[in-house]
Structure 1
Amino acid sequence: MPVHDHITDALKDPAFVRLGEGVVLARFETMKVYAALGAVRELLASGRISPGHTLVDSSSGIYALALAMACHRHGLRCHIVASTTVDAAMRAQLEVLGATVDQMPPSQSLRLDQERRVRHVRRLLAERPGLHWMRQYHDRVHHAGYRELARLAAAALPGREITVVGAVGTGASTGGLTQALTDEGRRVRLVGIQPFGSVTFAGERFSDPDAIIAGIGSSIPFGNVRHELYDTLHWLDFRHAMAGAVGLLREHAVFAGLSTGAAHLVAAWEAARHPGRTHLVLGADTGHRYTERVFARHAEADDPRTLRPVRAAGPAEVRPPWSVMEWAGRPAPESARLREDPPPVAAPAVGGRTV
């Protein structure tokens, strides 16, 4: 086993765990280390940032920690505009790592929480023009780090077609991994997971207040989502994601978050219908920040084996609690298209100051 020079090297590599016939979990402690570390390295190499620069972004949790660790590794400053869902344990880690944290007030609305964070970031940029906005929602530089994950996955899963199953979120992990595996010469099918209320794939007609904790969708358009890469979409409510997460722990002793639970549930259903493929489940984080809302309520969780989706021919037929639709590479729906030009990219930095 190698001795690592920094904790990010130890955290980013997944453990591959077989969950059943045709289903393999890529289990991470913090998967977004790939996005943050890959983005920081690309930005440093291009001269867009340099050591001493302050990086700022909005996050609901695991990206914030990944960015703080990447900044720690490369001698950069970090400022996080945190979602209301960031708990005390996460905030303490960020602050000890040297990040400054501005946290949004409690909210029962995913849209309000996200819009507040984006407005706050823009205020910071206006007040402090030397900041570099990482724009995890829009800058394709966050796809770069997943090339390394693609090489690991291709080596671990040789010889079979791969179906990537994961929460869409910002689009970087599922899109970046799928494109990188395709570039490696593998045949890949992409299955994305969304909560109700997310605009990314036109699911905003319904709301699910509990889904604010899931971090798998968005109430605002994300430029990093490459809609044309997705073959199939599943929309799940909180209770279904909870059933998947509790079932994963009960059946396989894997303690993981809600997005992993949703992907576990979806992958089992997909694998039963596509027995010739390997379904790679992206397990983005551990279950610690879901202890009270999910795992302490394990007696309430439904048996995953009793749950089935309703098939939808188009977005208008999607409805709770679980729907599946063949997206088949459609373009972004109207609600997911950016309505404004992206903000300007910061000029190259020298000694932590913008020039």
Structure 2
Amino acid sequence: MRPPATPVRTGAAPGTGSLATALVHEHVTDAMKAPDLLRLTDNIVLARFETMKVYAALGAVRTLLARGTVSPGQTLVDSSSGIYALALAMACHRYGLRCHIVASTTVDATMRAQLEILGATVDQMPPSRSLRLDQERRVRRVRRLIAERPGTHWMRQYHDAVHYAGYREFADLVDAALPGVPLTVVGAVGTGASTGGLVQPLRGRGRPVALTGVQPFGSVTFGSEGFDDPEAIIAGIGSSIPFDNVRHRLYDTLHWVDFRHAMAGAVALLREHAVFAGLSTGAAFLTAAWEARQHPERTHLVIGADTGHRYTERVFARHREALDARALEPLRITGLADLAMPWSVMDWKRRDHDVRPPADHPPTDHPPTEEDRTT
């Protein structure tokens, strides 16, 4: 295990006239994991990550090694739409583990090349415009791998609460940077670990933190599975299968946003604040801007999960088509029966939600059966 980063005194930073303190990191994961905190407006702050799930992957791998659940040289496998794959590959690189990724159709050539050079084996699903079909294929493939290769450890980022562990460090950073203010965290729900892993420690310290989640249409996580967004999969923010790591009772407010509204938010974030970020960040920024107008007394922290590079062609090259984010408003609803595209908002009020997969959906998280070994 590598030692932690150590502070080193550097020369004067240009224009400062004084010595600056910098860190010399022992591994790139230390340099990448913490976000830059950017104040976008008086009451909106962006936590801008290069790859947010480095926190999740590092925290999970370190915990599993400490428990003796996995050992150096062992293969870790999981399904991913992109940023968790890279984070897990880097964590494996750091701690001498092997990595096998069953990749979403949304993983591009740049991401795949990085994974392969880091030593990961990559199985990528064929092109699909269906969130459900893409995730079903990935889950089936992971379960076959586990059946065929005894000793391989399934990381289960969607289900294993070990992925919450790393975000306590993020909570420490937020608590120190934004002390004593009424805080609303705004982020894509995805696996649930990033928003939940941040908010739970903050609330545990007595802070009155509200949590606003963002979902795409077509996700079962918060009841929009009856909708189909025809333009694109918004990678990493929704699901066609139930995720155990989503703790519904943590969320105060939910927004459902379609692709074109997420695109509007991503383009607006770049145009107005020079921040190049992905679609989930664009959806969260759009949502936070509206929430900030409704609640100007609160500071809204937007989780910016990754950069915009993998969306260059699908989103940013089409920037002239983007809707004017400032002119967009959500439909306020009081129940899921009223849910409507392209953008809806509901006071969730920290309630439970019974998420049931469709009857024809394959099992997602149990030991492989004989059927899995032969399909």
TM-score by length of 1: 0.95
Q: Of the candidates 322, 327, 334, which is equivalent to residue 313 of structure 1?
A: 334
Would you say the 8 A contact 2:220–2:242 is kept in 1? yes
Q: Where does residue 343 of structure 1 map in the other structure? A: 366
Q: Of the candidates 343, 365, 368, which is equivalent to residue 322 of structure 1?
A: 343
Would you say the 8 A contact 1:202–1:335 is kept in 2? no
Shift of 1:339: 9.3
Q: Of the candidates 138, 156, 173, which is equivalent to residue 117 of structure 1?
A: 138
Shift of 1:180: 1.5
Supply the distance in 1 between the matched residues of 2:65 and 2:365 (Cα, whole angstroms): 21
Supply the distance in 1 between the matched residues of 2:110 and 2:333 (Cα, whole angstroms): 40
Supply the distance in 1 between the matched residues of 2:185 and 2:99 (Cα, whole angstroms): 31
Supply the distance in 2 between the matched residues of 1:167 and 1:343 (Cα, whole angstroms): 26
Which structure is richer in relative contact order (CA contacts within 8 A, separation 6 or more)?
Answer: 1
**1:159 and 2:180 equivalent?**
yes
Would you say the 8 A contact 2:221–2:355 is kept in 1? no
Would you say the 8 A contact 2:214–2:284 is kept in 1? yes
Would you say the 8 A contact 2:242–2:355 is kept in 1? no
| Matches for 1:66-145 after TM superposition, within 5 Å | 66-145=87-166
Supply the distance in 1 between the matched residues of 2:158 and 2:362 (Cα, whole angstroms): 14
Supply the distance in 1 between the matched residues of 2:253 and 2:118 (Cα, whole angstroms): 39
Q: Of the candidates 12, 17, 34, which is equivalent to residue 13 of structure 1?
A: 34
Supply the distance in 1 between the matched residues of 2:362 and 2:141 (Cα, whole angstroms): 19
Q: Where does residue 240 of structure 1 map in the other structure? A: 261
Residue identity over aligned pairs, in percent, reads 74
* AA aligned opposite 1:278: T
Supply the distance in 2 between the matched residues of 1:165 and 1:336 (Cα, whole angstroms): 26
**1:174 and 2:195 equivalent?**
yes
Supply the distance in 2 between the matched residues of 1:339 and 1:78 (Cα, whole angstroms): 25
Query: Rg larger in 1 or in 2?
Result: 2
1:179-212 Cα offsets, whole Å, 9 max, x none, are 0211233211000000000000001111113341
Q: Of the candidates 249, 262, 271, which is equivalent to residue 270 of structure 2?
A: 249
Q: Where does residue 201 of structure 1 map in the other structure? A: 222
Q: Of the candidates 144, 147, 164, which is equivalent to residue 168 of structure 2?
A: 147
Would you say the 8 A contact 1:202–1:333 is kept in 2? no
Supply the distance in 1 between the matched residues of 2:110 and 2:213 (Cα, whole angstroms): 29
**1:288 and 2:305 equivalent?**
no
TM-score by length of 2: 0.90
1:29-76 Cα offsets, whole Å, 9 max, x none, are 000000001000110111100111100000000000000000000000
**1:51 and 2:51 equivalent?**
no
Q: Of the candidates 222, 229, 237, which is equivalent to residue 243 of structure 2?
A: 222
SS in 1 for 2:255: strand
1:249-276 Cα offsets, whole Å, 9 max, x none, are 0000000000000110100110111111
Number of aligned residues? 345
| Matches for 1:270-281 after TM superposition, within 5 Å | 270-281=291-302
SS in 2 for 1:26: strand
Supply the distance in 2 between the matched residues of 1:256 and 1:241 (Cα, whole angstroms): 11
Structure 2 runs not aligned, ≥5 long: 1-21, 369-375
Supply the distance in 2 between the matched residues of 1:155 and 1:339 (Cα, whole angstroms): 44
SS in 1 for 2:23: coil
1:212-265 Cα offsets, whole Å, 9 max, x none, are 143210011111000000000000000000000000000000000000001101
SS in 1 for 2:151: coil
Cα 1:341–1:283 shift into 2, 3 Å: closer
Would you say the 8 A contact 1:236–1:262 is kept in 2? yes
* AA aligned opposite 1:343: H
Supply the distance in 2 between the matched residues of 1:215 and 1:177 (Cα, whole angstroms): 17
Would you say the 8 A contact 1:59–1:82 is kept in 2? yes
**1:298 and 2:328 equivalent?**
no
Q: Where does residue 16 of structure 2 map in the other structure? A: none
Cα 1:331–1:340 shift into 2, 3 Å: farther
Would you say the 8 A contact 1:234–1:266 is kept in 2? yes
Q: Of the candidates 65, 85, 105, which is equivalent to residue 86 of structure 2?
A: 65
Q: CA RMSD in A?
A: 1.6
